[in-house]
Structure 1
C-alpha cells in the first residue's frame, strides 16, 4: 500500500464562509419593526437543550462558533422548525444560542448564500421557499438527509449518482492517466484491508476518495464540479442504499472491476461495472433498474 493512505485520511479544510476585513459593516441586516418583534421564532421546542446540544454536535466536527450556528440554524430551517411566517431577529438568535451579534450576522450571511434566507429592508431576515435553496450545496444535502426529508433526499441522491457516475466511468476510460489510475487502485487496496479488519470508517473514506478521483479522471469540468455531491451522498446515505454504502466483498469486486476496465481503456466495461456497483442492493432497483448483461 502506498503512503497515499495517510494523505487520504487527512481532513480537507472547509470553506469558513467568513467575510474579509471590512465586509461585515457593508452587510447589515435590517432591524425588524417593533410589531414583528413580538412574535419571535419559537426556539424552545420539545427539546429545550436543542441549541446547546446542536453546538456540541457541530463542535465535534471541528467547527467554530460561526460554523456551529450555521449548522444549527440550517438544520432548523430545513426541518421546518424555522419557517417563513416569522422573521429571524439577530438579537433573539444571539440570546438563544449565547453568541455575539457578529457571529449571528456572519452565520445569516452564509445561510443567505445557500439560498435559505433573505434579508430585505423594512422586512428583516426571513426563510426562503425550498425552490430557492441551493439543493446541491453539501451542507443542505446533509441537513436534508438527516431531517424529515431524508427519504426524498437519499432517493434523489441515488438517482443523481446513477446519472453522473456511469458517464464519468465511461469518460475516464479514455484518458489513461496512470497516476490517477494508480491512486484508484490504492483506494481499492485500502478498502480491501479495511474490509478484512472490519474497519467501516476507513472503508468509507477510501470509497469516497475513489469516486471523487474517478469523476476527476473523466476530464469534464462540469462533472468534476459535481464530485462534492457524490462525496456528500456517500457520507449521508445512512443505510444500505447502494453497493457503496455497506462494506462487502461484492462492492469491493465492482470497484476492482472499474479499475481494471480503466486500465484496459474499456469504456463500456467501466460504465457497466459502475452501474452494477450502484445497483448492488435490491433497494436501489426500485429507483433504477439493474443493467442487463450482454
Structure 2
C-alpha cells in the first residue's frame, strides 16, 4: 500500500509539473499535498526525494517545495519522457528524442559492425527476422517489444556504455509512438527490410553499410512522425 501511494504522489505531482499546470517558481506546502492526496507525511517525503532527484522540485525551508525550471530537469529520465509525451509537450518531446536517435543510432550501428560480439550480432539477425514476420501480421504490440529489443541490442553492441545507457530513453519514445497512434497498422516493407539490412551489415562486419541502413531508418522515422511537431516552436 505504501509503495502504491508513493507512486501515486510521484505520478500526480510529476505530471502536473511537466504539463505546466504547476509552473516553475510555484511553491507547494507538503501538508497541502498530504491533505489533497490523502497520504501520510512519510509517503510525501519519499515521493519528494524522487522528484528532487529528477530535478523537478527543490525543498525550501519554511516554504515547502518550489517547482524548478525545465532547464533543471533530468530530461533523459524515462519517467519525465513518458510524462512529456502524455502532455501537450508531446510534439517537442518526440522531436528532440527523434533528433537524438538520428544523431546517435547510425554511429552506434557503425560501431556495432566493428565491435559486436558474435552472439549479439546473431541475436540481432534473429530479432530482425521476427520483426519482419510480426510486422506483416499487424501485431503492433509484439512488434513494439521487438523493435525496442532490436535498437537496444544495437546500442549495446556498439561497445559504448554511453550509447547503451540510452536504451530506456529510446524505449520510451518507441512506446510513445505506438501508444499515440503514430505507427501504421502494418510497418512499411522498406522499414522492415532496413532493420534486416542493419543486422546483416553488423553481422557481416560492414560499418559503412550498417551506418547507412540505420540512417535510412531514422530518416523514414522523421518523415513518418514529423507532422506531430511541425507547428511546435523550438526553445532556446
| TM-score, with structure 1 as normaliser | 0.70
Structure 1: stretches of 5+ with no match in the other structure: 1-17, 19-62, 288-294
Aligned counterpart for 2:73 among listed residues 133, 137, 152: 133
Q: Is 1:213 the equivalent of 2:153?
A: yes
Aligned counterpart for 2:132 among listed residues 173, 183, 192: 192
**2:108 alignment counterpart:** 168
Moved over 4 A (4+): 283-287
Q: Distance in 2 between matches of 1:75 and 1:89?
A: 18
| Structure (1 or 2) with the greater helix fraction | 2
Answer yes or no: is the 8 Å Cα contact 2:29–2:63 preserved in 1: no
**2:220 alignment counterpart:** 280
Q: Distance in 1 between matches of 2:83 and 2:205?
A: 39
Superposition deviation, residue 260 in structure 1: 0.7
Larger Rg over CA atoms: 1
| Count of residue pairs brought into register by the alignment | 224
Change (3 A) 1:222 1:176: closer
| TM-score, with structure 2 as normaliser | 0.87
Change (3 A) 1:246 1:193: closer
Structure 2 counterparts to residues 138-149 of structure 1, below 5 A? 138-149=78-89
Structure 2 counterparts to residues 109-124 of structure 1, below 5 A? 109-124=49-64
Q: Distance in 2 between matches of 1:215 and 1:176?
A: 10
Q: Is 1:255 the equivalent of 2:187?
A: no
Q: Is 1:94 the equivalent of 2:42?
A: no
Q: Distance in 2 between matches of 1:175 and 1:84?
A: 45
**1:43 alignment counterpart:** none
**2:7 alignment counterpart:** 67
Q: Distance in 2 between matches of 1:64 and 1:257?
A: 44
| Bigger RCO (CA 8 Å, 6+ sep) | 2
**2:171 alignment counterpart:** 231
Answer yes or no: is the 8 Å Cα contact 2:95–2:226 preserved in 1: no
Q: Distance in 2 between matches of 1:191 and 1:164?
A: 22
Q: Distance in 2 between matches of 1:258 and 1:221?
A: 20
Cα RMSD, aligned residues only: 2.3
Superposition deviation, residue 222 in structure 1: 1.5
Aligned partner of residue 173 in structure 1, secondary structure: helix
